[in-house]
Structure 1
Amino acid sequence: MKNLLLFLIVLPFLCYSKIEQTPKTIHVFVALCDNANQGIVPVPAKLGNGQDARNNLYWGAMYGVKAYFKKSQDWEVLTTVVNPTDLIVERVLFKHKTTNTYLLADAYNGKYIQQATINFLESNAGNNSLKISSNQTELCFGGDADLLAYVGHDGLMEFDVEGDFEGKDTSTKDTIILACVSKTYFKAYLKLTKANPLVWTTGLMAPEAYTLKSSIDGWILNESDLQIRERAAQAYHKYQKCGIRGARKLLVTGY
């Protein structure tokens, strides 16, 4: 009887420990800035070469996804792979230093922005599963990731997309879309996927990584959608000096 009581007391802690050990995964789709292949206001040539991840505005530059997360005290780089596919110039796997959270960032060749957009939307619908092993741990990305994000130019301003966007998951995925006027242009597609827009935009914006990281910080802490959106707005205002009211108007949550 004494052993049974001890087991019943310990069991919840064992279950909690097991749950805590399950990795949380984030998959970020970055369409590299590309002066030649995207309908953008041209940036300096070094920043706007969509085939050069190292110097690209949205990847290797100071506020690019790879550079910003690499310099962060909260994340560490586990692996870097050059040209993992014909579409992706570079892939980086990060591990959060204090939680069991992994982030996979894919830098898409800028001329393939349309396919990057399709892959992002299909993943929101629960498609394109991707498994990566790290330190004998199998990590699930693509359509099996817990959080998805898109960073870059809003190509839907110039083209339409077709794909398997009908949501299949029983659980709603969280998603972040840092691109100009993304709520207007992504809304119809995203509704098909049944994803939950944590943060997206109502106007023109600089899709730099401080907004993404601040949003992810709140998501890791299981904050509410409104709290996460507030983190994004505060970060955007801090770096862009646009006024917090303007940042809150720009960065919104939900449909």
Structure 2
Amino acid sequence: MKSAVAWVFIVLGLMICHASADTRTIRVFVALADNASQGIAKVPAKIGNGDDAELNLYWGNSEGFKGVFGRSKSWKLEKAEADPVPEIVDRRTYKHVSQDCRIIAEAWRGKNIRECLEAFFSALHSSENSLVAFIGHNGLMDGAIPISGLSAAPQPPDAVILCCISGRYFQPHLEAAKSRPVLTTTQLMYPGSFLLRDALEVWLRQGSRAEMRMAAARAYASNQKISVKAAAGVFTRLE
């Protein structure tokens, strides 16, 4: 009897481990907009303070990551950590309501955008996540960051990069990591997190990169009050 009970617990343990292994994890690195330290078009001071995540354009604002995913019916907040390390103002974990997937998102201080990008590039070289995303100002426009010397991961994550002209600037880093870009940009643009939200719904159902591009295009067209055709030109044709 004891051996039978022990066997049941072993099987349950294996099932739990397997379920955990099957959970997809998305890491999102958000560099807060910062009028003082970034080469950005100046925005109103209250949304351009790189130390204030709550009001920041790319985080607490209604179109920032926290604003968008906090209102989402598809993602539910599991955990919030204020100031987990000096460079990060806020870290939040969300669980999808119908898919076995979690998002771990971090709001990096605007003045630490270089460190944020370096962390993003390191994540590209890891198999810990299924997808990694960067949102914010294209810090590579302000200065190059050396290609990581790390080896490519056995299973590199997919990559979403929402900043101006990311396809061209980030391509060498993606190639070094052998990471598959699923959404990048071709033009100067506004990286609202509604783009990530809509693109992820396609990615979660294993839709194509062309479908992800058009999901982002429709969201961008609605936000910017332009045609879907014009909005589609903002995003790289990866299909």
Query: Given the two structures, how large is their TM-score scaled by the length of structure 2?
Result: 0.89
2:169 paired with 1:185? yes
Q: Tell me, yes or no, if the aligned pair for 1:21 and 1:100 is still in contact at 8 Å.
A: no
Q: 1:99-133 CA distances to partner (integer Å, 9 max, x unpaired)?
A: 1110011000000001111110111112xxxxxxx
Partner residue of 2:156? 172
What letter corresponds to residue 36 of structure 2 in structure 1? A
What letter corresponds to residue 157 of structure 2 in structure 1? K
Equivalents in 1 of 2:192, 2:72: separation in Å? Answer: 14
1:189-228 equivalences in 2 (<5 Å): 189-228=173-212
2:161 paired with 1:161? no
Which stretch of structure 1 is more off in the superposition, 174-183 or 225-234? Answer: 225-234
Identity of aligned residues (%): 35
Unaligned runs of 5+ in 2: 1-13
Distance 1:69 1:20, change over 3 A: same
Equivalents in 1 of 2:211, 2:151: separation in Å? Answer: 26
Q: 1:123-179 CA distances to partner (integer Å, 9 max, x unpaired)?
A: 1112xxxxxxxxxxxxxxxx5110100000001001111363544212232110000
2:55 paired with 1:55? yes
What letter corresponds to residue 242 of structure 1 in structure 2? I
Matched pairs, number: 225
2:111 paired with 1:111? yes
Partner residue of 2:213? 229
What letter corresponds to residue 137 of structure 2 in structure 1? H
Partner residue of 1:244? 228
Partner residue of 2:78? 78
Q: 1:192-217 CA distances to partner (integer Å, 9 max, x unpaired)?
A: 11111100000011100110101111
Partner residue of 1:11? none
What SS does the aligned partner of 2:168 have?
helix
Distance 1:88 1:171, change over 3 A: same
Equivalents in 1 of 2:196, 2:151: separation in Å? Answer: 24
Moved over 3 A (4+): 18-21
Distance 1:145 1:253, change over 3 A: farther
Unaligned runs of 5+ in 1: 1-13, 127-142
Equivalents in 2 of 1:54, 1:169: separation in Å? Answer: 35
Distance 1:168 1:180, change over 3 A: same
Distance 1:187 1:21, change over 3 A: closer
Q: Cα offset for 1:19? A: 5.8
Q: Cα offset for 1:184? A: 1.4
Equivalents in 1 of 2:81, 2:147: separation in Å? Answer: 27
